[in-house]
Amino acid sequence: MRVLAAMSGGVDSAVAAARAVDAGHDVVGVHLALSRAGGTLRTGSRGCCTIEDAMDARRVSDLLGIPYYVWDFSERFRDDVIDDFIAEYRAGRTPNPCLRCNEKIKFAALLERALELGFDAICTGHYASLVDGPDGLELHRASDAAKDQSYVLGVLNADQLAHTYFPLGDTPSKALVRAEAAERGITVAQKPDSHDICFIPDGDTRGWLAEKVGAEAGEIVDREGTVVGEHDGAHAFTVGQRRGLRIGTPAPDGKPRFVLEVRPVNNTVVVGPREALAIAEISGERFSWAGPAPRESEFACEVQIRAHADPVSARAWVSDDGVRVVPDEPFDGVAPGQSAVLYIGTRVLGQFTIDSTVSAVPVEA
């Protein structure tokens, strides 16, 4: 099998490529250049797309004896990931750029080019597993629950899964991957994991958004609409936030307030008590299935609303208008724009973008 190994410069993609070579596949390494910003060295950077990362990927490819290329996907990344991120925040939503990158770049743009060049599959260092199910290929959680990345892969469809290869899915722990890398002489064996948002290398998301979106002062109100404070820009607030609210009027019960909603139309931030973050229902119009679609329009499942959140037992309803989910126990602090990934056991069934929520705590009349 001809395999295109996506090499970030980290230890996971390095070992994944090495295992693909060991399996006898015809492997070619490729690093995706996603930023045109000059001088993006690792100093002060927390992402995964620096110049040094590209150098690390080249050294691993040389060690494995495979061809290596750098492909410029920066324009596509800007259009499909960065601009989408900005637009979502302008709309008062909370997007997941890593999930969008998987959907639009790694398993769309990259896969499209790989297939055009005659490759059979792309190989990545994601911790997830593919299983031949009774109705077709299925996406499942990795054996290492602590490193499972199936949530951010929930956007993949059946065609994409058919051309994807996850060599690390059955590895019991990241420590074993690092040990294997060291035994192979891979220099990035102890390289720290990337974290945060790769196109905001200093980690200052609020400052970055202020520059891109602009900051306009507005009101902070409670659930009844009473003004309790002012803000310098609604984009800086996310659902569930407690710190940095600068509310001048204390709550009647003296308890802390949390961000419950961001309303970009009138530049308003809504705050309320901790218990008001409980969400009894979520729904969304944009959905997709990771492999075979569910046979029934109503079914029991588990739902995960963040990459590292615990799954919640729920019931789901699917129609042409979208997906609606009611959890057995309320979700905690859900924001429109987040992705809800549906599971049945370890299998990823599919996902949808959350458009609306229903609070478990009604507003008092």
By DSSP bridging, strand 322-327 and strand 312-319 are antiparallel
Residue whose structure tokens are 């945060």: 196
d(CA 364, CA 63): 66
Residue whose structure tokens are 């031949």: 132
Active-site residue 198, yes or no? yes
Query: Where does 285-346 show beta strands of DSSP type E?
Result: 287-289, 298-304, 312-319, 322-327, 331-332, 339-344
What does the angle CA 280 – CA 283 – CA 284 come to, to the nearest 5 degrees? 160
What residue type is 171 in one-letter code? T
Per-residue 3-state assignment (H helix, E strand, C coil) for 170-209: CCCCHHHHHHHHHHHCCCCCCCCCCCCCCCCCCCCHHHHH
By DSSP bridging, strand 227-231 and strand 136-141 are unpaired
40: which strand partners?
none
Helices 205-213, 83-90: inter-axial angle, 10-degree rounding: 80
The active-site residue out of 49, 101, 123, 301 is 101
The active-site residue out of 98, 123, 198, 301 is 198
Contact present, 128 and 142 (Cβ < 8 Å): yes
d(CA 222, CA 279): 17
d(CA 230, CA 228): 7
What residue type is 218 in one-letter code? G
Active-site residue 301, yes or no? no
221: which strand partners?
227, 270
Active-site residue list: 101, 198
